[in-house]
Amino acid sequence: MDVKNIAATSIDKYATELQKLSKEIWENPELAYKEFRAHDVIADFLEKYGFKVTRKYKLETAFLAECDFGGGASPHVAVLCEYDALPGIGHACGHNLIAEVGVATGIAIKEALESCGSTVGKLSVIGTPAEEGMCGKADLIKEGVFDCVDVAMMAHPSQFTLTRTKYTSMIPVTIIYQGRASHAASYPWEGLNALDAAVMCYNAISCLRQQMKPTWRAHGVIRRGGLQPNVTPDETELEFYLRTPSETELKVLKDKVVDCINGAALCTGCKAEYKFGEKHYQALITNEVMAKLFDDNGARVGLEFEQREEIKQKFGGSTDMGNVSHVVPSIHPKFDIGTTASNHSKDFTVAAGKDFAQVNTLKIAKALAMTALDIYTQSELLTKIQEEFKRNVPTT
C-alpha cells in the first residue's frame, strides 16, 4: 500500500478515539500555563501508541513525544499541539481540535513510516502551552526546543480552509498614569486627573487610526479608571495590543503610540509609565515549498480551499507559531470546521465540540501527515525547504 494511504487509513482507524480525546479537552477548558489535565491526557494517548513521552518538558504543561526511526536525526519533523482555552468562553479558538490534529498527524506519520520499514529521520509531537495571550512558544524557543528541528507544522480551526494565512506581529503595551487625588467637588484644582489622561490617550490612539495603514491594528481597554466619582482618580491603567504585518512596521507603530501616551501626560500634568511586553508575537512566515506540498496533499484528501481573494488577502490575528516560523521552516494552515461563527466567540466554542467539526479535522491531519511523508521520502525536498527559508526569513 502507498505510504500516504497508510497514513490516511491510520487516522480513519483511530477516528473515534481521536474525537474522544478532543472532547475530553473541550469539556475541561484550562487557561494558559494551567493546562494540566490536557497535558496528561494527550501524553497518555501518545504513550499508548508507542511514542517516548517526556512530560513537563522545559515548561510545566509542555511535553515532547518522540519517535526515532533509526537512520539519523534528519529530517526531523515537529508536529505541534495547542490545548489552552480562553477565559470565560472555553475553547473558542478550537485548541482541542489543534491537539487532535497534532496527535492524529503524529500517529499517522509514525505508523506509515514504520509499516514500510523506513530508517530515515526523527519525529516529534510537541505540546506547546499558552498560545492565548502569553506567547508560550517563545518560551520554548528560548529553552532550545526547536534547535534540532528541521521543519514544523500545525493547523488551526477557522471558518475557511487556507494554506497561507496572514498572521501579524503583535506586542502588548501596559500604560499607567499617575495623577494626584483630591475632592472632586471641593478642591478639584488640587488634583491631577489620571482618568483624563487615560481617556486622552485612548482617544489619541483612536485618532491615530486615520493615519494607520489598513493592515495595522491598535485595540485596547481601560483596565482601571478610578474608584469614586467624588475622588479625582490618581492612578489609571490601560492595555493595548499593537499589530502589523512585519517587525519593521511594528516599530513604527510603537513609536507613534508612545507619542500618544506622552502627549496625554503632558496635557493633564500626569506622569506616564508604559511597558511593552517582554515577549511578542512575530508575523507568520509560511514556507512556500512546504505550502505547495500541503496544497497538493490537501486536494488529495478532499479539502476545499478558500478561493475568494478578499479572504485570502485578509490580515487577521497573531499566533506564536509565527515565532517558530522565524527559527524553523513552518506551515500553519487553517481549516473550516463547518461554522460561520468567528474565532473567540461562544458560537465557535460550541462548533469546536460538534461532530461536524471532525470532518475537516481528520482531513487536515491527513494532509499534514502526507506533507511530512513527502519530506521524509524525497531527500531533495528538505534542501529546497531550507534554501527557501534562508531567502525569506529576516536575519536581524
pTM: 0.92
CATH assignment at residue 256: 3.30.70.360
Q: How many CB atoms lie within 10 A of CB 181?
A: 18
pLDDT recorded at residue 1: 67
**SS3 assignment, position 275:** strand
Residues 252 and 157 in one domain: no
* Contact in structure between 136 and 59 (CB atoms under 8 Å): yes
Phi–psi pair at 257, nearest 5 degrees: -70, -35
pLDDT recorded at residue 396: 57
**Euclidean distance between CA atoms 162 and 332, whole angstroms:** 9
Angle (CA) 327-329-335 rounded to 5° is 120
Residue found by looking up cell 479572504 in the block: 311
Neighbouring residues of 292: CB distance < 8 A, sequence distance ≥ 6: none
Q: Which three cell numbers stand for residue 379?
A: 531527500
* Contact in structure between 165 and 333 (CB atoms under 8 Å): yes
Residues 159 and 78 in one domain: yes
Residues 116 and 258 in one domain: no
Q: Could you say which of 225, 241, 276 is where a domain stops?
A: 276
Range of the domain at 262: 169-276
pLDDT recorded at residue 118: 78
Q: Could you say which of 276, 300, 328 is where a domain stops?
A: 276
* Contact in structure between 79 and 124 (CB atoms under 8 Å): yes
CA nearest to 155, candidates 334, 344, 370 = 334
Kindly give the interhelix angle for 15-27 and 358-377, rounded to the nearest 10 degrees: 120
**Domain total for the chain?**
2
Residues 143 and 153 in one domain: yes
pLDDT recorded at residue 313: 80
> Largest Cα–Cα distance of the chain, in whole Å?
86
Supply the Cα-derived Rg of the chain in whole angstroms: 23
pLDDT recorded at residue 133: 86
CATH assignment at residue 64: 3.40.630.10
**Euclidean distance between CA atoms 378 and 381, whole angstroms:** 6
**SS3 assignment, position 227:** coil
Residues 267 and 252 in one domain: yes
Q: Could you say which of 213, 245, 276 is where a domain stops?
A: 276
**Euclidean distance between CA atoms 41 and 62, whole angstroms:** 12
pLDDT recorded at residue 364: 99
* pLDDT digit string (tens) for the chain, length 396 residues: 699 999 999 999 999 999 999 999 999 999 999 999 999 999 999 999 999 999 999 999 999 999 998 767 789 999 999 999 999 999 999 999 999 999 999 999 999 999 988 778 999 999 999 999 899 999 999 999 999 999 999 999 999 999 999 999 999 999 999 999 999 988 899 899 999 999 999 999 999 999 999 999 999 999 999 999 999 999 999 999 999 999 999 999 999 999 999 999 999 999 999 999 999 999 999 999 999 999 999 999 999 999 888 788 877 789 999 999 999 999 999 999 999 999 999 999 999 999 999 999 999 999 999 999 999 999 999 999 999 999 998 765
Residues 73 and 132 in one domain: yes
Residues 176 and 262 in one domain: yes
pLDDT recorded at residue 312: 80
Residues 302 and 388 in one domain: yes
Residues 160 and 123 in one domain: yes
Q: Which region, left, alpha or beta, applies to residue 54 given φ > 0 means left and ψ of -120 to 50 means alpha?
A: beta
Residues 46 and 90 in one domain: yes
Residues 291 and 372 in one domain: yes
Angle (CA) 296-281-207 rounded to 5° is 115
Residues 81 and 176 in one domain: no
**SS3 assignment, position 32:** coil
